[in-house]
Structure 1
Amino acid sequence: MQEVELGGVAGPFDEKPMSQWRSSPIGVIPKKDGNLSRDKNTLAKSGASSDTRRVPLKAIDSEVDRLIKLSVATNTRGAYELALRSLRQFQEEYQLDTCEQAITRKMTDLKSSDHEHEICRECCHGNMCNNKGCGDDAYRSCDDHFKVGRLKSGVYTISPDDVNTFDVYCDMENGDGGWIVLQRRFNGLVLFNRSFAEYENGFGELYGEFWIGLKKMHILAHSSRKVKFNLQALNGTWLPLEYNSFYISNASQQYTLHVSNHTNGFCAESFEYNNGKVFSTYDRDSRGCAASRFGGFWYNGCTYLNINGHFGLLNDESGVIEHRFYSGYVNFQKTIMMIQ
């Protein structure tokens, strides 16, 4: 049994009856009566021995085990954080130096077990190294992360179904929950005129410009989702475009687009014009639109909205634009496509 030294404390935990254990988050801290006080004067008055005794960590270990297993069962890291806070409280009251070591050891033991995939993936000194929390495999979307208080945009891990787990960029700062970003452009450093295979698998970096990939897009939106475009014009104005229904078919149907129920921005035809069309790139382009518009998209004949076009090309249908015959071009310097 592993033990820690408590100067001036008489008796191990399991020698005290339950009535002598006070309530605490970890439930294993004995009451501070005369025999358990760290004050030598009090010990002398009570007649208790001031000899150093060793207190086993068995009770702490079992409680940490319970709390961590609870975090797995509830798919939150709250229980893990509770265990850490409890150990720190114990450390402060009884001047221990094994707080973080104890919980880190327990986390290490559990991570090496058969349940590794259920435990926090990244830990450092008892704290999460990044936005990934315990039980991240239970978060189906960015909105799930948002609902538990993760309000900062960034890269999070989600498991949209029982098979797939991967990182996505979550936009948390729109004021209406968390959104999974499918496409983002803002500096033109990533080339978007790419092959079908590249559009299928995705390219770029989640913290930079990127296309998430049609395979992941189908996993995320094989059934109806809301889709939103945030499009920044050259004058800095953000122009929204939103639809309440968006999903895409699988690879055998060349990721056919299904979009409807326009709710905000431009007009419904901006993106609904592309409804029912397969995804095309320069090497799989029956209409010739991918080649002329410099990027992959769901082309009809060809498109009003060209978010994957030639970055920086102004007032041209091949640029990053929204084009209406009656109103001309709207050039964009930043584009974000996301779903919820």
Structure 2
Amino acid sequence: MSKSECKDTETMVLRAKLDPLQELVDSYKNQIQDLKAHVEDLRESLRFCKGRTTTKDSDSTTSNDLKNQKSNTRIQSKLYDLDLKDTDKAIAGTSFSRSCLDFEESSDIHQISVPGIVPFNVLCDATIAGPGWTVIQQRVNGKVHFYRDWASYRKGFGSFDGDFFLGLEKIHRLTSNSRHDLYIHMEKFDGSTMYGHYDNFKIAGEEDHYRLISLGKCSGTSRYDALRSHEHKKFTTFDNDNDEWPEGNCAIFSGSGWWHDHCVNTNLNGKYFNSEVQNEQSIFWENKTSLKKVKMMIRPRGN
């Protein structure tokens, strides 16, 4: 590798580390503002409750004191939730949807909750393959790059109105909670579409490097079961090499975090190209031919 190529690689690695950090900072800023507004609302509720205390008689005072006490308990509970010290306790007794199935024909952003993780937003899709699908990855315009580090893929990145990856930890929690189908919708640059459908998609937790545990049976309009060679493989990023290529890191070679083996048979997290090309770093399903759009979706099976 030449000096210029080494410099380009170092630049790509540094950019891949810097961009998600900036996004994380911006995300934390927004969360802090939201939390401040929430806390102020709770304080206002507390002031309102205190203001209603009267001394007309002992029964009235006792009644209002009980109301204030209950209000304080609710406020402390909400503040505790914000602190996120104990996820399972934070969501105990609260009604949350478990998947996009609860939102039926909606193709919008909704909040769901699964055991072991705080409630989070997801993009639901009911237009491509019927109701109830949760979008876990989307490629539409290339405005978000996918050559990212392990922490970024674990947490998730991007925007629901463009390119995004939901996050390995969320996908793990979802697929561990119940059996899921995986539907991969792909659009070529000539406008034609194809899909791959797997009936038992599941990934492991971080302790097993988010290994692709199973795919199940494959069906669809694609000619190839292109994802099969990645089954049982661990997730690899440029800073966390878990692939089966002894000479190097497949994430660096293919320009993407993925369930790499030796290295890619399909590369849906690859680099976005604005036209059809033959490139091993592109977003492709087969024959290294770049795709225009991709949407990976999961849905609980048996509903």
Fold similarity call, TM over 0.5: yes
User: C-alpha deviations, 1:79-132, integer Å up to 9, x for none?
Assistant: xxxxxxxxxxxxxxxxxxxxxxxxxxxxxxx998729999xxxxxxxxxxxxxx
Is residue 261 of structure 2 the alignment partner of residue 300 of structure 1?
yes
Alpha carbons of 1:138 and 1:301: their partners in 2 closer, same or farther (altered >3 Å)? same
Does 1 or 2 have the higher relative contact order (CA < 8 Å, sep 6+)? 2
Quote the sequence identity (%).
Answer: 29
RMSD: 2.5
Within-5 A mapping of 1:154-169: 154-161=108-115, 164-169=118-123
Aligned partners of 1:116, 1:169: CA distance in 2, in Å? 31
Equivalent pairs counted in the alignment come to: 207
Q: CA deviation at 1:238?
A: 1.7
Aligned partners of 2:170, 2:154: CA distance in 1, in Å? 8
Alpha carbons of 1:169 and 1:137: their partners in 2 closer, same or farther (altered >3 Å)? farther
What's the counterpart of residue 233 of structure 2? 277
Is residue 212 of structure 2 the alignment partner of residue 212 of structure 1?
no
Aligned partners of 1:158, 1:116: CA distance in 2, in Å? 23
Answer whether contact 2:106 2:131 (CA < 8 A) is retained: no
Alpha carbons of 1:236 and 1:339: their partners in 2 closer, same or farther (altered >3 Å)? same
The one of 213, 220, 226 equivalent to 1:264 is: 220
- What's the TM-score once normalised by structure 1's chain length? 0.56
User: C-alpha deviations, 1:24-83, integer Å up to 9, x for none?
Assistant: xxxxxxxxxxxxxxxxxxxxxxxxxxxxxxxxxxxxxxxxxxxxxxxxxxxxxxxxxxxx
Q: Is the strand fraction higher in 1 or 2?
A: 1
Counterpart secondary structure, 1:228: strand
Q: Which AA in structure 1 matches 2:199?
A: N
Q: Is the helix fraction higher in 1 or 2?
A: 2
What's the counterpart of residue 44 of structure 2? none
Aligned partners of 1:136, 1:261: CA distance in 2, in Å? 36
- What's the TM-score once normalised by structure 2's chain length? 0.63
Q: Which AA in structure 2 matches 1:269?
A: D
Q: Which AA in structure 2 matches 1:319?
A: S
Counterpart secondary structure, 1:273: helix
Q: CA deviation at 1:139?
A: 1.1
The one of 207, 211, 226 equivalent to 1:252 is: 207
Q: Which AA in structure 2 matches 1:336?
A: K
Alpha carbons of 1:117 and 1:227: their partners in 2 closer, same or farther (altered >3 Å)? farther
Uncovered stretches (5+) of structure 2, i.e. residues with no partner: 1-69, 79-92
Uncovered stretches (5+) of structure 1, i.e. residues with no partner: 1-109, 119-134
Answer whether contact 2:194 2:220 (CA < 8 A) is retained: no
